[in-house]
Amino acid sequence: MYKVFIRSVGILAALVFIGTATLQAAPMTSKDEVKSNNRDWASFYPHQYSTWKKTSESAEITDLLEKKPQLAVLWAGYGFAKDYNAPRGHFYALQSNQNSLRTGAPVDAKTGPMPTACWTCKSPDVPRMIQEDGELEFFTGKWAKYGNEIVNSVGCADCHDSKTAELTVGRPSLERGFESAGLDMAKVSETEMRSLVCAQCHVEYYFKSTAWTDAAGNEKVAKVVTLPWANGLTVEGMEEYYDALEFKDWTHKISKTPMLKAQHPGYEIFKSGIHAQNGVTCADCHMPDIKIDGETVTDHQIKGRLSQMLDTCANCHDESPELLEAIVARKLERKEQLMEIAMNNLAKAHLEAGEAWRLGATEAEMAGILLDIRHGQWRWDYAIASHGSFYHAPEETLRILSVANEAAQTARLKLTKVLTKYDATNYVTPDFSTKEKAQALAGVPFQKLVDEKLVFKKGLLKEWEKDAIKRGILDPEIRQGMSDNTAYKK
């Protein structure tokens, strides 16, 4: 059915790399430093730079809270209920983070809701600062502490060594994750590096509180990005890991459940799919070889839609683009159906639990219910948080969504009993069919958050940018003509 050239795709790219890149690489830098300014790389690698810059074409905001209002109920009491959009191009990763209502409106380096860890997957300035300040210092303090340092969006030095231009992993979290899972990153093949550079960011992680003492003797607490891989990369393995630590990302505002938030276990779920099992890497589909001026280069315009990638599929598949599109569209429909059911059941479970508490239900009556909600929502989130999962690993995605549904339904069955005991058999959950209604139920002060954010954007954010330009770590030319889309101010 398929003509498959997976190995040769990997090998071909590796040869291209040796043939063209390393020859030109020498002048970048001879020091042990991270060249985080993407413009610094442009004159050495014009084609890689120009295709990378085209990720700016994916600029549009898709407001997922508007598309799926249940989300605001599911995340009540947590940042994601404020603002949550579909992913855009790498060029915008940093802007998305700065514009998000989740990162709030700090007024100085010590204010705002988020820790420094929130920069981790946004910028090559992160490996630079980890090298300059040390990992523990980097993960100590508030997000705003590094506002004038983290100024370049996901780029060259995230995936390439600044001295040799070879693929590299500059985030220690991935190496530690490998170790905890009993794997050795030093032993992975060059081909696997074409996925591992992505796995620096497209993975599940949490912020592990870590006490430490700096050189001057000050006692500090770092929030260190940590991959929960010690029991394996599966949804069950990670759940076991978090449960054993009694870890929670937040307490749900309506149901009082100690919740887990899946980040984006994209690499993990991809590994369970047919492509990964056949040695296909992220770059094989998202970064195919293309010809520019007669030269074969890796396309650095990483795209997010199948319609933009059909040429790439033809490297390995004989089927017509129409057939492949239809197959993938059907995969998406199946996922959407199960996802919608899971989200509705989970949202109702939170609201019914909230009603049960209001009527005087006891901790003992609620404990088992809250555990079902915790596990159900964790599964649902793991399955869909990486967006491409329905395609990367369709069976695993549908399996996990089914189990999520089972847990949500079990919670609701138990809740029926509790509600009956408190004479609320006929309780009907309130309407959460629009973003406004759902955010109201979740207690999100939307307009206030927006007003504060706009003050931040006009003030501190502009100061950070000016300071970075003055110190030569940001080249203003790179941002010329850059759009500034948000979900709150079209």
Interacting positions 39-68 with ligand HEC (CB under 6 A) = 41, 45, 48-49, 52, 58
Contact 125, 158 (CB under 8 A): no
The single residue among 324, 424, 469, 473 that binds ligand HEC, judged by CB under 6 A, is: 324
At which residue do the structure tokens 């050189």 appear?
A: 215
Minimum distance, C-beta of residue 40 to ligand HEC, in the bound complex (Å): 9
Q: Which is nearer to ligand HEC, 166 or 452 (CB)?
A: 166
Q: Which is nearer to ligand HEC, 374 or 392 (CB)?
A: 392
Residue 344: Cβ-neighbour burial (10 angstroms; 0-12, 13-18, 19+): middle
Q: What angle do CA 205, 209, 213 make, to 5 degrees?
A: 130
Closest CA to 68 of 479, 435, 453: 435
For residue 292, what is the enclosing H or E element? strand 289-292
Instruction: Give the type of residue at 225.
Output: V
- Establish if 225 lies at the interface with ligand HEC (CB under 6 A): no
For β-strands 295-298 and 258-259, DSSP reports them as unpaired
Q: Which is nearer to ligand HEC, 114 or 201 (CB)?
A: 201
Report 179-218 residues binding ligand HEC (CB under 6 A): 194-195, 197-198, 200-202
- Establish if 165 lies at the interface with ligand HEC (CB under 6 A): yes
The single residue among 34, 130, 150, 306 that binds ligand HEC, judged by CB under 6 A, is: 306
Report 415-454 residues binding ligand HEC (CB under 6 A): none
- Establish if 371 lies at the interface with ligand HEC (CB under 6 A): no
Q: Which is nearer to ligand HEC, 323 or 428 (CB)?
A: 323
- Establish if 12 lies at the interface with ligand HEC (CB under 6 A): no
HSE-up (13 A, CA, CB side) for residue 166: 7
Q: How many residues bind ligand HEC (CB under 6 A)?
A: 77
The single residue among 69, 155, 354, 376 that binds ligand HEC, judged by CB under 6 A, is: 155
Report 107-136 residues binding ligand HEC (CB under 6 A): 121-122
Residue 19: Cβ-neighbour burial (10 angstroms; 0-12, 13-18, 19+): exposed
Q: Which is nearer to ligand HEC, 57 or 431 (CB)?
A: 57
State the Cα–Cα distance between residues 360 and 419, nearest whole angstrom.
10
Per-residue interface string for the shown chain with ligand HEC, residues 234-273, x marking contact by CB under 6 A: --------------------------------xx--x---
- Establish if 404 lies at the interface with ligand HEC (CB under 6 A): no
Residue 426: Cβ-neighbour burial (10 angstroms; 0-12, 13-18, 19+): exposed
Q: Which is nearer to ligand HEC, 81 or 415 (CB)?
A: 81
Contact 172, 135 (CB under 8 A): yes
State the Cα–Cα distance between residues 132 and 189, nearest whole angstrom.
29
